[in-house]
């Protein structure tokens, strides 16, 4: 096949080497931006027409051809070619096939520098919406699961040691909160990306009389850039998006870790359904929480993409540098990963069978109500630190005799302090502990019910 002429070959005396061509091409991945590139070109053709640079007839021919090209792209019939470097030149080349030299007019008053920035921003706005919707879907599933299991009690953990009894719904709703922050961060990142760089051209702007605000508006941007040099030098929107993506993955990795722990034989808190597990090629009894493990593992991928982008941008002078080309695969990879992991996390939560008995038995285990015992003493007027030490002694004594707090008689309690009275027995069960809570946003059943209701309203409003 004859290599098509490069758009910039006029000045060059030797053709590009094949290995160089392969090293520098980007169409193998930036082809994903093709629909955005066509959209941007159609808006640009409109603007060139309004500015009198394209005649009505020229504009119509270009627009018709671009619409055909979009259809080819959407139908998977567009043939991207590496020797045409990037998505822009592939599309322009196809345009030239359709309408000849007129195609050359479309690149008036623009450059690949501002065009790629526009494509990327259009993509990121769509990606942000998609991910926000997946966050919402996951939050909904969490709220449903929490509501359905509102009575289930489990041990709350600090340091992976059983600490105090809590409602399982309360624990689950902690993830609702993390995701609510993620939702806010995605919205902020999308808002800052919602700026149209077109009009910057290579870096300096243009002398041609184009209405850049109209072009931005036509593409659905809220504003134009404010400085043409910044507009082609800036990849903040990629880094910020990746940072937000990394935090989402941190949250999902923690959820994944808990699902792995909970579905272990040792915890036994949940059972994952067969259809979202895989087995072992050698151990027939195994049912592995692979999906959760992969979510946890894929955290590395997104963190790696963030580190990559930061490393790339560090110390680069203005304005456009070819290093920026590396932004795309990192971003696409992260978007796909986060989207898939949010979807899979939903499957895990929705599918997990809650073993309420196992959880509650664990929550009722030794000493988890010791804080309640301390509070009891505080309410009897004993300073907190003294009460804490006293309960510590009771716990140590129980450990030595193999007893549980519930096993102690009033007499035994009073051997430690005479402030203990009969009512002490009422506060030593997990359920008693949870139900006696009163504090706002605590694990009190009433508070948890309120938070579920509040979440339902919040999700309703997003529609």
- Of residues 245 through 274, those in contact with a second copy by CB under 8 A are 246-247, 250, 253-254, 256-258, 260-261, 263-267, 273-274
Q: What is the DSSP string of 211-273?
A: -HHHHHHHTT-SEE-S-HHHHHH--HHHHHHHHHHHHHHHHHHHHHHHHHHHTSTTT--EE--
- 56: its two tokens: 């009505």
Taking CB under 8 A as the rule, does residue 336 contact a second copy?
no
Residue list 290-309, contact with a second copy (CB under 8 A):
290-291, 293-294, 296-301, 303-309
- Measure the CA–CA gap between 433 and 408, rounded to whole angstroms: 17
Taking CB under 8 A as the rule, does residue 28 contact a second copy?
no
Residue list 59-88, contact with a second copy (CB under 8 A):
85, 88
Strands 195-196 and 353-354 come out as unpaired
159 is catalytic: yes
Taking CB under 8 A as the rule, does residue 401 contact a second copy?
no
Taking CB under 8 A as the rule, does residue 220 contact a second copy?
no
> Could you give phi then psi for residue 154, rounded to 5 degrees?
-135, 165
Using CB under 8 A as the binding criterion, the count of chain residues that bind a second copy stands at 200
Residue list 89-118, contact with a second copy (CB under 8 A):
89, 92, 101-113
* Residue of 130, 132, 137, 229 interacting with a second copy (CB under 8 A): 229
Catalytic hit among 280, 365, 453, 454? 280
Residue 184's SS3 state is helix
Token pair 């196992």 in the structure block, residue: 358
> Could you give phi then psi for residue 156, rounded to 5 degrees?
-80, 150
88 is catalytic: no
For residue 287, what are the β-bridge partners? Answer: none
Q: Which is nearer to a second copy, 105 or 414 (CB)?
A: 105
Q: Cβ of residue 325: shortest distance to a second copy, in angstroms?
A: 7
Taking CB under 8 A as the rule, does residue 222 contact a second copy?
no
- Measure the CA–CA gap between 48 and 59, rounded to whole angstroms: 8
Q: Cβ of residue 356: shortest distance to a second copy, in angstroms?
A: 17
- Measure the CA–CA gap between 216 and 47, rounded to whole angstroms: 10
Taking CB under 8 A as the rule, does residue 375 contact a second copy?
yes
Catalytic hit among 13, 14, 19, 159? 159
Q: Which is nearer to a second copy, 314 or 411 (CB)?
A: 314
58 touches 20 (CB < 8 A): no
270 touches 352 (CB < 8 A): yes
Q: Which is nearer to a second copy, 123 or 330 (CB)?
A: 330
Specify the stretch interacting with a second copy by CB under 8 A; choose among 39-47, 130-138, 406-414, 441-449: 441-449
């Amino acid at each position: 096949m004859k290599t098509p002429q490069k758009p910039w070959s006029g000045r060059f005396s030797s053709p590009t080497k094949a290995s160089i061509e392969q090293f520098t091409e980007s169409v193998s991945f930036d082809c994903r931006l093709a629909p955005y590139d066509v959209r941007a070109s159609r808006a640009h053709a409109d603007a060139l027409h309004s500015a009198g640079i394209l005649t009505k007839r020229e504009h119509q021919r270009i627009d018709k051809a671009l619409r055909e090209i979009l259809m080819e792209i959407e139908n998977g019939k567009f043939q991207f070619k590496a020797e045409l470097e990037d998505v822009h030149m592939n599309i322009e080349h196809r345009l030239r096939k359709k309408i000849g030299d007129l195609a050359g007019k479309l690149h008036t008053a623009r450059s690949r520098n501002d065009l790629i920035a526009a494509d990327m921003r259009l993509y990121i706005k769509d990606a942000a919406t998609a991910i926000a919707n997946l966050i919402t879907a996951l939050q909904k599933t969490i709220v449903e699961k929490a509501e359905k299991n509102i009575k289930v009690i489990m041990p709350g953990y600090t340091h992976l040691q059983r600490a105090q009894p809590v409602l399982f719904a309360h624990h689950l709703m902690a993830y609702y909160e993390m995701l609510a922050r993620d939702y806010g961060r995605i919205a902020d990142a999308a808002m800052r990306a919602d700026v149209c760089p077109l009009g910057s051209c290579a870096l300096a702007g243009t002398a041609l009389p184009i209405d850049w605000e109209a072009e931005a508006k036509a593409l659905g941007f809220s504003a134009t850039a404010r400085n043409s040099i910044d507009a082609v030098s800036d990849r903040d929107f990629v880094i910020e998006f990746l940072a937000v993506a990394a935090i989402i993955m941190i949250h999902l990795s923690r959820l994944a870790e808990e699902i792995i722990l909970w579905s272990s034989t040792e915890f036994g808190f949940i059972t994952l359904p067969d259809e979202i597990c895989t087995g072992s090629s050698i151990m027939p009894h195994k049912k592995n929480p692979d999906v959760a493990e992969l979510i946890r593992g894929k955290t590395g991928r997104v963190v790696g993409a963030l580190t990559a982008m930061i490393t790339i941008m560090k110390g680069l002078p203005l304005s456009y540098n070819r290093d920026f080309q590396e932004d795309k695969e990192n971003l696409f990879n992260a978007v796909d990963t986060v989207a898939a992991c949010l979807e899979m996390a939903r499957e895990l939560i929705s599918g997990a069978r809650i073993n309420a008995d196992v959880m509650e038995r664990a929550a009722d285990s030794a000493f988890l109500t010791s804080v309640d015992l301390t509070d009891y003493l505080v309410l009897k007027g004993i300073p907190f630190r003294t009460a804490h030490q006293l309960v510590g002694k009771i716990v140590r004594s129980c450990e030595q005799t193999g007893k549980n707090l519930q096993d102690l008689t009033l007499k035994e309690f009073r051997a430690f302090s005479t402030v203990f009275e009969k009512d002490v027995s009422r506060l030593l069960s997990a359920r008693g502990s949870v139900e006696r809570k009163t504090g706002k946003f605590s694990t009190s059943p009433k508070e948890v019910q309120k938070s579920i209701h509040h979440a339902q309203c919040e999700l309703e409003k997003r529609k």
